[in-house]
Amino acid sequence: MNIKLSDIIKWTGGSCDNDSADFEFTGVSTDSRSIKPGELFIPLVGENFNGHKFIQKVLENGAAGFLYAENAEDIPGEGIRISVNDTLRAFQDIACNYLRQFHIPVVAITGSNGKTTTKDILAHLLSQKYKVLKSLKNYNNEIGVPTTVMQLTPDIEVLIVELAMRGVGQIRELARIVSPDIALITNIGEAHFELLGSIEAIAQTKSEILEYLAPHGFAVLNADDNWYSWLSGKSGAQVVSFGMKNDAGIQLIDKKDLGLGGFDLDVKIENREFSFHLPLLGVHNIYNSLSAIAIAHCLRLSPQQISEGMKTLIPSDKRMEVRQSAGGWTVLNDSYNASPASTQGALDIMKRLPCTGRRIAVLGDMLELGEIAQDSHREVGVKVNEYGIDYLLVEGELGAQIATGARMSGMNSDRVIELENNERIYEKLKSIVKKGDIILVKGSRLMKMEEIAEKL
């Protein structure tokens, strides 16, 4: 979908000496390595990069023009030059206005846990009826969200975006860009405690997604979350609730645990009961699926369409993926990220799975917890012992606190092993793992613990 030069100037408040008001760019790109002929290049600036350095290169590769917020008068080439105050803000404003050209429902998802998995479940369900564009990978920040929006084409019928944050006001800014018709807050937990300092501040920051929610839209909220009542009062839009414990519009009535096969679920949807098969592990994925069912219902999918989509779900990358090894052991690869709640949930899953061998937990640091970090890690160690895990292998300075918690709660010290890095953990695992064992691998993203899972 082409974009007029005149629109770019209007949307960004920029200035341009070129009088070709009817000129149209073939697209917008912030990546100098993949610029296509006819596109507008937006040079972003960060702590360790400055896209202005690549303007000449993108012109040589066919870019039709560029934005700039620094001196570009001496750059050779015939490209259209648009001066703006801030290139990132201009990029966001372009995406915001570009999205307004499409009259489609926009779903925005935030929360402390489960954002990406819920996004992937929802996109799969909605694909039973609609052509869907969802945030790719972890494109959920101030650059990723507008990048996703700029991928819209006329055939897209629903847009799903994930909104993450690293501070107060960031979700508000992302919500401003997309102005969602449906806003989901999966839960309020301890993730980002280090950045915000309290659960109250986390709840306040997550609630920013509701500030730009369309009045005719839906606020989809977790009825079992401690902050449900407070969040319900933060938006004038209709509240759609989901849950397993408290009364909710989309409510789990009963579940049958099928081990590695997932769950059979009986779910109430507006006082009618329906049965679904969920081929994913973990109670947390029941919550994720209930929220996705709620949104799918808002977008008029039939229970039959939801059921067909649920049957064919597969785990999101590095999120409780079940891998069977040639050696006869099972690997639970949950290495994408970790928080106290998600780690305890993963341990609970492993405890409940049928196992003919030993249960082995391989855990690393859980980051961004601030002043509660050491206590939170020790509490996870206590759970390792309470759940009857046979071996605990840890790495990282905070991972050592998991080991401390396990030993203090009575776990046999010979079964608690502290190692320096992923390679050392893998070498140790090779010496102890046997047929029938189940191995959980989990840690924060920076720990790169997928390296262990892949080798296993």
* pLDDT tens per residue across span 218-232: 999 999 999 999 999
Cα distance between residue 453 and residue 334, in whole Å:
9
Q: What is the pLDDT of residue 33?
A: 93
State yes or no: pLDDT of 167 exceeds 90: no
* Pair type for strands 250-257 and 263-269: antiparallel
Cα distance between residue 168 and residue 81, in whole Å:
34
Q: Cβ contacts of residue 240 below 8 Å, gap of 6+? A: 218, 219, 220, 221, 249, 250, 294, 295, 297, 298
Cα distance between residue 50 and residue 168, in whole Å:
25
Q: Cβ contacts of residue 26 below 8 Å, gap of 6+? A: 2, 36, 37, 38, 39, 64
Q: What is the pLDDT of residue 307?
A: 97
* Pair type for strands 80-83 and 65-68: parallel
Q: What is the pLDDT of residue 72?
A: 63
Residues 37-41 have a mean pLDDT of: 96
Average of per-residue pLDDT values in the chain: 92
DSSP letter for each residue of 28-95: EES-GGG--TTEEE---B-SS-BGGGGHHHHHHTT--EEEESS--TT--S--EEEE-S-HHHHHHHHH
Sheet strand arrangement including 80-83 = 15-16, 80-83, 65-68, 39-41, 27-29
The token pair at 61 is 């590769």
Q: What is the pLDDT of residue 320?
A: 86
Q: What is the pLDDT of residue 201?
A: 87
* pLDDT tens per residue across span 263-306: 999 999 988 999 999 999 989 899 999 999 999 999 999 999 99
Residue with token string 């306040």: 204
How would CATH label the architecture of 3-85? 3-Layer(aba) Sandwich (3.40)
* pLDDT tens per residue across span 192-205: 566 667 888 889 99
Residue 120's pLDDT band, with cuts at 50, 70 and 90, is very high
pTM, entire model:
0.83
Q: What is the pLDDT of residue 136?
A: 84
Percent of the chain with pLDDT over 90: 78
Residue 5 CA, chain-centre distance (Å), reads: 34
**Protein fold of 321-455:** Protein-Tyrosine Phosphatase; Chain A (3.90.190)
Cα distance between residue 147 and residue 199, in whole Å:
30
Q: What is the pLDDT of residue 415?
A: 96
Q: What is the pLDDT of residue 220?
A: 98
Q: What is the pLDDT of residue 368?
A: 83
State yes or no: pLDDT of 446 exceeds 80: yes
Percentages (nearest 5) of helix, strand, coil residues in the chain? 40, 20, 40
State yes or no: pLDDT of 179 exceeds 90: yes
Residues 129-140 have a mean pLDDT of: 92
Cα distance between residue 70 and residue 53, in whole Å:
10
C-alpha separations of 231 from 4, 209, 210, 410 in Å: 40, 11, 9, 40
Residue with token string 């360790």: 48
DSSP letter for each residue of 275-330: EEEE-S-SHHHHHHHHHHHHHHHHTT--HHHHHHHHHT--PPTTSSEEEE-TTS-E
Q: What is the pLDDT of residue 19?
A: 66
State yes or no: pLDDT of 388 exceeds 90: yes
Residue 456 and residue 433 in contact, taking contact as beta carbons nearer than 8 Å: yes
Residue with token string 């659960």: 199
> Treating both helix axes as pointing N-terminal to C-terminal, what angle do 115-126 and 283-298 enclose, rounded to 10 degrees?
50
101-110, 127-136, 164-173, range with the lowest pLDDT: 164-173
Q: What is the pLDDT of residue 328?
A: 94
Percent of the chain with pLDDT over 70: 97
Domain boundaries, the chain: 3-85, 102-311, 321-455
* pLDDT tens per residue across span 241-271: 999 999 999 999 999 999 889 999 999 998 8
Q: What is the pLDDT of residue 57?
A: 92
Its CATH class, for the domain covering 102-311, is alpha beta
